Amino acid sequence: MDNELRDGSSIPSDRIKLLQIIKNNKLNKLVRYSWWEGKEAMEQCEIAQNEVFSLTAGPLLLYFQSGLVVGAASDPSRNSVIIWVEKDDTGYVKSEPVENDTDLYPIDAEDKTYSSPYWIQIVGQSIKEINIIKRDPYNALFEELPNEVGLEIVMENDMKFILSHGLHNDSDDFSVITASQIEIDILENLKWFTC
């Protein structure tokens, strides 16, 4: 993998080459790195036990069969989701990897307590399609921002999930959700673009 792809985190439209690489690649594991342990995340985020993986605060790592690991989070200053290469199949590992951050608590998508059965149908599938979700700017402050508020990932079994910047509650929070969790008032201001 070339150095350009390893160069920091960026919005999805700046990482089209990386998105093309992960397309048709098998997703072996999804792990959320939460700011809190499961029980505390439920209290801090006011969420149900089986929603912790989806709705806790903290980044997500997507582990692929090839050895590639891609990170995702959101950047309020860009009103966007951001992605980066955490590890690649050549031995490259990002400086200060998420996995080594002792302040974060890993919660696996297949966790029987803090995740829902939906995610078990995602893991082990290959990615078939990737769509960038843009939000129309809702005031002048957002007109200059990328507003790439979601990255929809469609699996070979047609199951989908969204790496989201506040789509579930109109906040600056990163979440990993399904389209059915997008707040209705936001939905009409979104546009999908296939990568």
**Is the Cβ–Cβ distance between 148 and 174 less than 8 Å?**
no
**Is the Cβ–Cβ distance between 94 and 87 less than 8 Å?**
yes
Helix (H) / strand (E) element for 184: namely: helix 184-187
**Is the Cβ–Cβ distance between 51 and 11 less than 8 Å?**
no
- Average pLDDT per block of 10 residues along the chain, 195 residues long: 70 95 96 97 96 97 96 96 94 91 97 96 97 92 94 98 96 95 93 94
- Our CA dihedral for 11, 167, 121, 87, rounded to 10 degrees, sits at 20
pTM of the model: 0.95
User: Tokens 């199949």, residue?
Assistant: 89
The rounded distance, in Å, linking the Cα atoms of 29 and 104 is: 17
